[in-house]
Amino acid sequence: MDDANGLLSSSASTKRGRDPIFAMLSKCQAAAAAGADVVNGTIGALLEDDGSLAINATYVDAIKASQAVDVAAYSPLAGLPDFNDLLVELALGPERPTLLDHLSARAMATPGGGGALKLTAANLVESGGVVLMRDRHWGPYLGFLGEAGLGRRTWPLLGPNGADVDVKGFEAALQTTVSEQSQVLVWLNDPAHNPTGLSLQAESRADLLEAMVDSALEHPKVGHSLMIDAAYTLYADEPHGWATTLAEAMDAGMMWPENLMLLWAVSLSKSHTAYGARCGGLVALHPDIEALDRVYEAFAVTGRGTWSGPPRAPQSAAVGVHEDAELASAWSDRLDVLTDLLARRRTALLEACASRGVSLNPTHDGFFAWLEHEHPSDVVDRCASRHVYLVALNGGVRIGLCAMPEASMERVADVMAEALEVVG
């Protein structure tokens, strides 16, 4: 008999395996329930030092205080107009006026940043093609690609001598893809990359943008889309770095190819600590508003056929917070506190690891740090035996700074050093 007594389709029958993050979280929770003194570095949400969820109450309280109509009524398929305007503001920041002097913008609400990923995968590459991404990336990317009938092509996370970008690797992957496909889509999680915490510097952003522009100019019949996955960007030192890089390029006379579109996947999950509200969106820039209108028409049809419509109350609450000067200031102040919490944890871990000879990857911002290793499962299992719980992913170990108190970093470094000595 076929898989599940013949009930699953052939494509569904390949969907196997348990998410490694939730599997290790379960082990950690079981150990804690048995009385063990655990350090939980598996969770991808920001926790206070006492283990409770860190909350930006200004936004969460605004959702709780939503008007009945915002809870009960449908949202427009593309989202509330005021919320879509806010999405543009969150993506572009202070560079918005400069960029919109040259370019048109469109935005659409989605259920979290994942919805934005879904829209691009479903519409910007032919089925059977590949999407470009760095070789260290958020694991669920592959699920979005699989559902769209797509594969991936990667380039190295780091360049020669530890540079924060491998420009030649990117250009090679881009050139290969251009020769095979009628559309090219790049997913670039930056700044505060998941799972490493790496943030590209200004020169590296400029190099990648230049590579995309040059490729689009050289291949005018191939569509080029660069999507910045901005899930963690508001916790970074340069939260709107890509908008700045783009504005500088425009001011320097960059010729914008008609076959190039830049997009931002915006998520309120992390920046507004409302993971379960599933609120986010997709912002795009292009000089031709008619082209953008046609793209977003396709996005809206995909959204309608996937999630029907985005939740309305979280959108309305976000608009209310950001349009009220006092509420916006309170939200921003709390964001600063949480950003500082992450920075102190990262500094403590880096110093503790350096003193013990544990070489972490370059890590700057956001929720995570990363230990590159050929046998990550062995390292993680050894750490778990000492009740420090981390996550083994392809090519290394994800360390959830967002979930671990600053006072635990010495212990985490000790346990990782021991694990590396044992595993080799």
Find, among 237, 290, 229, 297, the residue nearest to 262 by Cα: 229
Q: Which of 64, 39, 118, 49 is CA-nearest to residue 344?
A: 49
Beta bridge partners of 227: 187, 263
Question: 378: exposed, middle or buried (C-beta count within 10 Å: 0-12, 13-18, 19+)?
Answer: middle
Report whether pLDDT(187) > 90: yes
For residue 163 the two structure tokens come to 């540079």
- Out of 3.30.70.2190, 3.40.640.10, 3.40.50.1970, 3.40.50.300, the CATH code matching 74-311 is 3.40.640.10
* pLDDT digit string, tens, across residues 120-134: 999 999 999 999 999
> Between helices 313-323 and 81-92, what is the axis angle to 10°?
60
User: How high is the mean pLDDT of the chain?
Assistant: 96
Give start-end residues of each CATH 3.40.640.10 domain in the chain: 74-311
Residue 13 has a pLDDT of 77
CATH superfamily label, 12-56+328-423:
Aspartate Aminotransferase, domain 1 (3.90.1150.10)
Q: Convert the pLDDT of each residue in 351-391 to its tens digit.
A: 999 999 999 999 999 999 999 999 999 999 999 999 999 99
Contact 270, 47 (CB under 8 A): no
Give the side-chain half-sphere CA count within 13 A for 361.
Answer: 29
**DSSP 3-state assignment of 66?**
coil
Is the CA virtual torsion 344, 347, 351, 356 positive or negative?
Answer: positive
Residue intervals of the chain classified under CATH 3.90.1150.10 are 12-56+328-423
Bridge partner list, 188: 228
The predicted pLDDT at position 7 comes to 86
User: Any residues with CB less than 8 A from the CB of 193 and at least 6 apart, and which?
Assistant: 134, 136, 199, 232, 366, 368
Q: Tell me: the pLDDT tens digits for 21-62?
A: 888 989 999 999 999 999 999 999 999 999 999 999 999 999
Q: 397 with 379: CB under 8 angstroms?
A: yes
- Angle among Cα 52, 54, 59 to the nearest 5 degrees reads 135
- Are the C-beta atoms of residues 354 and 367 closer than 8 Å to each other? no
- Range list of β-strands (E), 191-349: 223-229, 260-267, 280-286
Which of 229, 283, 222 is closest to 257 using CA atoms? 222
**Structure confidence at residue 15 (pLDDT):** 78
Give which of 275, 297, 315, 306 is closest to 109, Cα–Cα: 315
The Cα–Cα gap between 189 and 273 comes to 19
Band of pLDDT at residue 18, cut at 50, 70 and 90: low
- Confidence (pLDDT) at 2: 54
Q: Are 145 and 124 in contact (CB under 8 A)?
A: no
CA 413 – CA 139 distance, rounded (Å): 25
CA atoms within 13 A on the CB side of 31: 18
**62-109 pLDDT per residue, tens:** 999 999 999 999 999 999 999 999 999 999 999 999 999 999 999 999
Tokens describing residue 211 = 């590579």
- Banded pLDDT at 1 (limits 50, 70, 90): very low
> How deeply is 245 buried, as exposed, middle or buried, from its count of CB atoms within 10 A (0-12, 13-18, 19+)?
buried
Non-local (6+) Cβ contacts of 18 within 8 A are: none
- What proportion of the chain, given as a percentage, has pLDDT over 90? 93
Confidence (pLDDT) at 57 = 98
Average pLDDT of the segment spanning 291-313 = 97
H-type helices in 163-240, by residue range? 167-180, 202-218
CA distance 20 to 42: 9
* Interval 228-261: pLDDT, tens: 999 999 999 999 999 999 999 999 999 899 999 9
